[in-house]
Amino acid sequence: MIILGVDPGLTRCGVGVIEADASRRLSFVHVDVVRSDPHESQDLRLLNIYNGLTEKIEFFKPDTVSVERVFAQENRNTVLGTAQAAGLAMLAAAQHGIPVALHTPTEAKMAVCGNGRAEKIQVERMVARILNLNELPQPADAADALAQAICHALRPAGALQGGEREQHLTLAQRQWASAAQRAKSSHGVDRGM
C-alpha cells in the first residue's frame, strides 16, 4: 500500500510518501515540500499548493492520502491557511478517487515516537529511524508529512472491540489506538507538531 502523507501549510506544504507491505513493514518512497510565494495573492498561492499536491498524487498514485487534522491555534491567519491547504489535499485526493484519512498531530507523534507530546527533533529522528534514512528529513514539514503517513500505516485496522481484538494488535497499534482515544476525549483540541 502506498500512503501519501500531507502536513498542510500555505507557504510550505509537506508531502511524504511511504510504502507499507502486508506485514506493515514501512519503506521510504519520497519526501518534498510544495511551496507557495507569500508575496503572491491568496488565490494564486492556493492554486500553487493544489497543483503541487495534484502532481504528487498523479505521480505516486497512492492508495490513501493521510492529512494532518487541522486544530485550533492562537494565530487565526495561520489556522486558516493550514485549513485551506488541508482542504486542497482532500479535494485533490477525492478527485482521483483516493480515500482520505485525518490524523491529529498528537496521534502522529504517538505512532512515531510513542509520546504524543514529542518535540519536532524527536519526530524527525524517529521518522528517519523507522524508514531507515541516513539523514533526518528536512525541513520539519517534510518529517511531519512522513509521520502522517507512518501514523496511517500503523493505525489499527478498525476501532478496538474488546480485549480479544486488542491482543492481536502490535505495541505501536495499541499506542496509536490509545492516542486516538485521548485525542477524541480532549474535545478535538490539539497542540500541533
- pLDDT above 90 as % of the chain: 69
User: 2-185: which CATH architecture?
Assistant: 2-Layer Sandwich (3.30)
Per domain, the residue ranges of the chain are: 2-185
The whole-angstrom separation of Cα 41 and Cα 121 is 33
Arithmetic mean of pLDDT, 23-39: 95
Query: What's the half-sphere exposure (Cβ side, CA atoms, 13 Å) at 155?
Result: 20
Residues 6 or more apart whose CB falls under 8 angstroms from that of 92 comprise: 50, 53, 54, 57, 65
Q: What is the DSSP-derived secondary structure letter of residue 69?
A: P
Average pLDDT value over all residues in the chain: 85
pLDDT digits (tens, 9 = 90+) for 130-149: 999 999 998 878 999 999 99
Q: What is the DSSP-derived secondary structure letter of residue 3?
A: E
pLDDT score at 172: 57
pLDDT score at 24: 87
- Phi then psi for residue 11, to 5 deg, are -85, -45
- Phi then psi for residue 8, to 5 deg, are -70, 140
Catalytic residue IDs: 7, 68, 141
Joined together, the cell numbers standing for residue 179 give 492516542
Question: Which residues define the annotated binding site for Mg(2+)?
Answer: 7, 68, 141
pLDDT score at 33: 96
Dihedral, CA of residue 51, residue 53, residue 56 and residue 57, to nearest 10: -110
